[in-house]
Structure 1
Amino acid sequence: MSDVAAYPITSRAFIPLHASPAPTQRPGAERARTKDPLRCTSCSMRAICMPQGLTADELQRIEALICPSRTIRQGETIYRADDAFQNIYAVRAGSFKTVVMHRDGREHVTGFHLAGDSLGLDGVCFGRHSCDAVALEDSKVCIIPFHQLEAMCREVKALQQHVHRMMGGEIVRESSQMMLLGTMSAEQRVATFLLNLSDRLRKRGYSPAEFHLRMTREEIGSYLGIKLETVSRMLSRFQREGLLDTRGKNIRILNHEGLMQV
C-alpha cells in the first residue's frame, strides 16, 4: 500500500503532461539531456526506482532513454482515465494520488504514490489508462517511453527483472488493498495506513516517526473505504490512547508497537 509525505521540491517551469504526445527524438535532444542537473546517478531515489547491478554502460543507456524531469503543479494531472498509454513515470519528488470516478461523479482514491514510485502501469494491459494521476503537491516526474523501455528490456536483463518486479508490486498492492477493505475494522485500516506510511518513509531515509500528510483526511477515507468523520475519530482515539500526537496534518507516532496491536 502506497502512502505519501512531504518532500522538498525544486521550483521549475510547469510543462503540462496531460494528453501530450509521446516524446520524440529531435536534434540536440541528447545534448539537452546531458545538461539536466537531475540525472539518475545523482538522484536520491536511484536505489528505489532503478535496478541494481547495472554496468556503467547499461546505466548510461537507461539515462539516455529517460526524458528530463518535469514539474507537475499541485492539482494537475499527468494522465486521465481513458488516455492512450504511452509512457510510465517515475516520481522524482513530491507525491500523487490515483483516482477513479464513479458514474455519479464521486471520486475514489485507489492509491498514494511518493518519490521512487512508478505511475502509469495501469495502461499496459489495454493500452489506455484506467485512472487519473493527480499531483498532491508540486512534484517532479521522469518520463519513460514504454515502447523504448520494452526494447531495452530485451537487452538488459536487470532492467527486465526490475520492470517485472514493478508489475508484481502492483498486483501485491491491489491484493493488500482488497484485504484491507474486506477484513479490517475502521481502526485497523487507519492504523495500517499509518504503519505502512512509516515503513515507506524509513526505506527512503526519512523519519518513520514524524511526518506531514499531503493528502486530506477525506482522501484517506476514500482510500480506506471509510468516511472522513471516521478517519478523524480514529486519529483522535489513537491520540487519547497515547499512540499518536496529531496536530492537523502533522503526525508523530509515540507508540509504534501499540499501533501494531490495534
Structure 2
Amino acid sequence: MGKVSASSSAHAFKVACSNCNLRELCMPVGLNDQQMQRIDDIVATRRKIKRGGSLFRNGEAFTSLFAIRTGFFKTCVATEDGRDQVTGFQMAGEIIGLDGIVNDHHTCDAVALEDAEVCVMPFDRIEELSREVTPLQTHLHKIMSREIVREHGVMLLLGSMRAEERLAAFLLNLVQRLHDRGFSQSELVLRMTREEIGSYLGLKLETVSRTFSKFAEDGLVEVKQRHVRILDTDALKAIVNSQQA
C-alpha cells in the first residue's frame, strides 16, 4: 500500500477534542473551556489511513504526534536481513509517534492493521501550549513515562519468560487495554497475525500457534481464527506469575 505522509493530500477535516468520546483517554482531565478550546484549535485535523498503509516511516521527519481515534496500528523496524521486527501494537485512545521526539525523525514504521483514523497533533504547538497549560504538560510526561514502562515490560517479556508466559502476558495486556476503552474483559479480535505476534514476542510462528492450541486444550481460551475468548483469566495470570513463585 502507498505511504501516507504529513505532506500528502490525506483526508483532513476539523474535529473538536472537546466532543470526542476518547477525550478522557488521550487528553488530560480537568481542563477549563478556554484551555480545551486552545487544544481544539491545535488538533485541527484527522487523517484516514487504509489497512496496510503507513502513518509514518522510519527516517521521516518528525512533526506531529498522533492520537488514534479508530483502528489499530503496529510499529516495526526492518532488520538487517530485511525482516520486519514488530516493536509494538497501538489502539484507539493511544498516542503514537513519540519515537520521533529524540532526533526529530521517526525511528520506526507505523502501519495500519485495519482502516484507521488519527488526530494530528503538531508537536511544536503542543509543546508550546504545554508550557502554559500545566495539566497538558503533566499529561505528556505521563504518556512518555508509560512508554518507558512499556519498553521495560517488553524487555522482561523477551529476556526471561517462556513462550507460555509471553503469550499469556500479551493476551492479558491486550484485553485489559481494550477493557479500558469499554470493550469486553474476556473477548477480543486479534487485529494482528500470528506471525506479527511472534515477531513482537520473539517467538517463531509455529511456537505461537502451538501455544494458542495448548491454551485452548487446557481450557484457558477459546480460539476461532482471530476471535479469542478468555475462559480462565486467573489461570493466565498464574502462568505469567509462575516465574516469580
TM-score for the superposition, normalised by structure 1: 0.87
Look up the equivalent residue of 2:94 and give its one-letter code.
D
Q: Aligned runs of 1:132-143 on 2, under 5 Å?
A: 132-143=109-120
What is the distance in 1 between the residues matched to 2:216 and 2:3? 41
Question: Deviation of residue 19 (structure 1)?
Answer: 5.3
Q: Does 1:211 align with 2:188?
A: yes
Count of residues paired in the alignment: 236
1:179 pairs, out of 156, 161, 176, with 156
What is the distance in 2 between the residues matched to 1:103 and 1:19? 27
Q: Aligned runs of 1:29-178 on 2, under 5 Å?
A: 33=14, 36=15, 39-178=16-155
Moved over 6 A (4+): none
Gaps in structure 1 of 5+ consecutive residues: 1-14, 22-28
Look up the equivalent residue of 1:166 and give its one-letter code.
I
What is the distance in 2 between the residues matched to 1:162 and 1:253? 32
For the Cα contact (< 8 Å) 2:71–2:115, is it kept in 1?
yes
**Relative contact order, higher structure (CA 8 A, sep 6+):** 1
Question: Deviation of residue 45 (structure 1)?
Answer: 1.2
What is the distance in 1 between the residues matched to 2:6 and 2:91? 22
Look up the equivalent residue of 2:74 and give its one-letter code.
K
For the Cα contact (< 8 Å) 2:68–2:118, is it kept in 1?
yes
Partner of 1:249: 226
Look up the equivalent residue of 1:18 and give its one-letter code.
S
What is the distance in 1 between the residues matched to 2:147 and 2:89? 12
Question: Deviation of residue 122 (structure 1)?
Answer: 0.3
Name the % identity. 49
Q: Aligned runs of 1:7-18 on 2, under 5 Å?
A: 17-18=4-5
SS in 2 for 1:70: strand
Partner of 1:238: 215
For the Cα contact (< 8 Å) 1:16–1:72, is it kept in 2?
no
TM-score for the superposition, normalised by structure 2: 0.93
- What root-mean-square deviation, in Å, do the aligned CA atoms of Structure 1 and Structure 2 show? 1.7
